[in-house]
Structures are given as C-alpha cells and as structure tokens.
C-alpha cells in the first residue's frame, strides 16, 4: 500500500517521461505498485480508492475466522450456537450467513458417522496387538474361520443423528464421529 505522496510522485514522474523502473527506484516502491497506480490514473483520472461494487460483507474478517476456528475445534456445534457467539461480539447475522462462511472454507454440515465403538487407548492397543497376531496366518487358517456379526450396538448420545461440520475427507476422524456402546447383559 503506497501513501498518497508516493502515488502523486509516481504520477508526476510519469508525466515527466520516466518509466516504471526508474519511478520505482526513485520512490523506493515496487514496480508493479507503480504500474497499478499509473494504470488506475490513466483509467479513472484519480488514485483515490473508488467505491466498491456490491454490498459490504456482514461478517468482519475477525468474526469469520473465529467462527471457522470454533467449528473446526468443536465439529458438533450447532448453527444456533455459532449465531449466539457472533451476537456476543456484536454482529447479528442469520444462520445462512454463518453456513456460507463455513462452506467457503470447505466445512459442511454432515451426519456424523455412527459405527465407531467407544474405545479407550487400552482397547485400541489391544485390538492392534490382536490384529498383528493374526497378520501372518496362511490362507488355509482363514478358510476354517466362521465369520459372524451379531453385535447389538446402541447409539451413544442423541437418539437421532448428530450434525458435524467437517471437510469431505475427515468423516472417520474421532472428533467427527458419534461413539457407540454395546448393550449390557448376557
């Protein structure tokens, strides 16, 4: 960003017949900045900032970044909670505005994956050890194994589905899933 004095100096030196490189060295500003100043002056006859097209953004950059950070840190946050957090800062925006801001950075509301058992680190380590134990077994061993799936699983948390804000390839990250627990009993 050049000061108004540098902009005026660029125009005066250009009128005097100097090229972009010489103006750039004389005023100690980048050549492409000099070029942009002169092109704007040629087109509009002024170097001041002109009115921009379109409606100004409702969310400030700071609030938008805070929303994105909040949704990335807590994927199961609702749009209403995000809306309340922006209202606390003093920016009252509609849920659609918040949703659009999240979409621009690739965060979309998706149904959380459910088939992830609630496992502790000890469970995960034991499962990995079990899998490694059978890793080198020959094909003939696996032909004698009876495969069944009779585990009854109950949703942990909400009875219906939960929405998470995540990127398209992060479906099975732990923070984006709803853990499940098995029924008790015999």
In a domain, 141, yes or no: no
Domain co-membership, 65 together with 40: no
Cα separation, 105 vs 69, in Å, equals: 11
Domain co-membership, 28 together with 66: no
Domain co-membership, 68 together with 38: no
Instruction: Output phi, psi for 121, to 5 deg.
Output: -60, -35
Q: Is residue 6 a contact partner of residue 27, using CB atoms and an 8 Å limit?
A: yes
In a domain, 153, yes or no: no
Whether pTM exceeds 0.85: no
Domain co-membership, 38 together with 70: no
Domain count, the chain: 2
Domain co-membership, 38 together with 66: no
Domain residues for 87?
61-111
In a domain, 123, yes or no: no
In a domain, 68, yes or no: yes
Query: What pLDDT sits at residue 184?
Result: 52
Task: Give mean pLDDT in consecutive 10-residue pieces for the chain, a chain of 186 residues.
Answer: 84 91 91 92 88 89 92 89 90 92 91 72 89 90 81 52 80 76 54
In a domain, 166, yes or no: no
In a domain, 100, yes or no: yes
In a domain, 54, yes or no: no
Q: Which of 89, 111, 133 is the last residue of a domain?
A: 111
Query: What pLDDT sits at residue 185?
Result: 43
Rg (CA), the chain: 30
Query: What pLDDT sits at residue 119?
Result: 75
């Amino acid at each position: 960003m050049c000061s108004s004095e540098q902009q005026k100096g660029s125009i005066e030196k250009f009128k005097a017949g100097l090229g972009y490189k010489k103006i750039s060295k004389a005023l100690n500003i980048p050549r492409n900045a000099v070029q942009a100043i002169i092109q704007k002056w040629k087109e509009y006859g002024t170097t001041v900032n002109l009115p921009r097209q379109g409606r100004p953004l409702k969310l400030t950059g700071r609030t938008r970044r805070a929303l994105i950070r909040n949704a990335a840190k807590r994927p199961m946050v609702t749009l209403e909670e995000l809306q309340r957090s922006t209202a606390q800062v003093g920016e009252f925006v509609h849920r659609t505005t918040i949703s659009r801001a999240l979409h621009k950075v690739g965060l979309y509301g998706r149904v959380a994956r459910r088939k992830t058992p609630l496992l502790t680190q000890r469970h995960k380590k034991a499962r990995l050890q079990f899998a490694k134990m059978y890793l080198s077994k020959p094909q003939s061993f696996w032909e004698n194994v009876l495969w069944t799936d009779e585990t009854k699983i109950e949703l942990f948390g909400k009875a219906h589905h939960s929405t998470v804000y995540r990127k398209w390839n992060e479906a099975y990250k732990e923070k984006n899933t709803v853990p499940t627990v098995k029924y008790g009993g015999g």
